[in-house]
Amino acid sequence: MNLTVKSALAGAFAISATTAMAQEDVIDVGMILPYVGVYASLGEEIDQGFVLALEEAGMTDRFNIIREDTEASPQVGVAATRKLVLQDEVDVLTGLVSSGVLAAIRDFVDQSQTPLIVSNAGNDEATGADCSPYITRVSFSNAQVNRPMGQWLYDQGVRTVYTLAPDYAAGRQHIGAFVTAFEAAGGEVLGQDYTPFGQTQDFGPYLTTAQAADPDAIFVFYAGGEAINFVKQYDSFGIKDETPLYGSGFLTSQLYLDAEGPAALGVITSLHYLPTLDTPENKAFVEAFQTKANRLPSEYAVQGYDAGRALVEAVKAGATDRESITEALRDVQYTGPRGPLEIDPATNNIVQNVYIYDIVEGEDGKLTQELLDTVEAVRDEPNGCEL
């Protein structure tokens, strides 16, 4: 065989090896989010945040994203997850807005040993009694964002509250965590109401009952369209002038402020992210997201971003397949747009700051979040989790 042929074959083998290596290096990501329906805007924010993290790292060519729509339906979510794992053979799953979908796919994810990075669904059990070594959450737990408000409100002189929330698992978990902390601090809950989830248009009867109890404050959890309706009706009924409103930060999310308008002024809530955080990491993130999406990022955008960032950090540490990604995610820690974060090895839940903030009018006349206080490095107890 002459040297020319040998050289040609050697070059061919080298190209083949390089191609194979490149194929091995590509991480297939199954993105499970609602892209239509009531939660479509949340899915879009999470998706855009995730992609931004890959772009920022200069690693978009390392990831092949395969998207499936859950429609926020547990049944659809299970089918989408099975397709991504069994047919597409993805290396990692991410997404999930609905806690119901997360609960529905939990056993399949665990049994198939497929790493899942949760970028929204907050049900406490996912990193509590129903935890799995393959499920890592970079968003929040329902208890985590509400528990700090119990002690904080008591410290502000609030001694009695009345609570309201939609009647489903997340509503009861959000309120339950606050109530436990508030009572432990010495506060008294004068009454609680749970409104029919997704069906309540008129909050008037509930607001009237709450006001009649004469509490120092009203504490609530509402999100989406219910948050907008509740805040507006709370203002229109005149209760705002007599009884201050507090709640979980989803009540006054960046996504809803324009729709809520002046009714949101003075409402104080707690959450794990504000676009107004004055840090170099957040300023850079806000600028990049605004350039990409032409709007301020919400907590959903930063959750998607941190899901992408966590995966990037895992791959940088050498993870290339399901097993190594699962292991590497446990060691992820960095300071990002929402502040310092890490994954708690006892629960696989995120450890993060919780911010307490007021809604005020900014210099430009638009509503904005004003930081009042920071509760640092909030972590959940294992609550039955055994990893």
Q: Each residue of 120-166: pLDDT tens digit?
A: 999 999 999 999 999 999 999 999 999 999 999 999 999 999 999 99
Percentage of the chain lying above the pLDDT 90 cut: 84
Q: 311 pLDDT exceeds 90?
A: yes
Average pLDDT over residues 286-302: 95
- The CB density around residue 272, as the number of other CB atoms within 10 Å, is 22
d(CA 65, CA 117): 14
Output the pLDDT for position 44: 94
Is the pLDDT at 243 greater than 80? The verdict is yes
Q: Within a 10 A sphere around the Cβ of 376, how many other Cβ atoms? A: 11
| Whether the predicted pLDDT of 15 surpasses 70 | no
Sign of CA dihedral 258, 218, 358, 351: negative
What would the two tokens of residue 56 be? 């920022």
Average pLDDT over residues 185-206: 95
Helix 40-56 with 299-316: angle, nearest 10 deg:
40
CA distances from 318 to 27, 104, 321, 322, 377 (A): 12, 31, 10, 12, 27
Give percent of the chain above pLDDT 70. Answer: 94
- pLDDT tens-digit map of 340-350: 999 999 999 99
Reply yes or no on whether the pLDDT at 312 is more than 50: yes
Q: Please name which of 75, 99, 79 lies closest in space to residue 88, comparing C-alpha atoms.
A: 79
How high is the pLDDT of residue 197?
87
| Between residues 386 and 169, the one the model is more confident about | 386
Q: Higher pLDDT residue, 97 or 39?
A: 97
Mean pLDDT of 320-331: 96
Query: Average pLDDT of the chain?
Result: 92
Q: 38 pLDDT band (50/70/90 cuts)?
A: confident
Give Cα 371 distance to the centre of its chain: 19
Q: Which two tokens stand for residue 78?
A: 């299970």
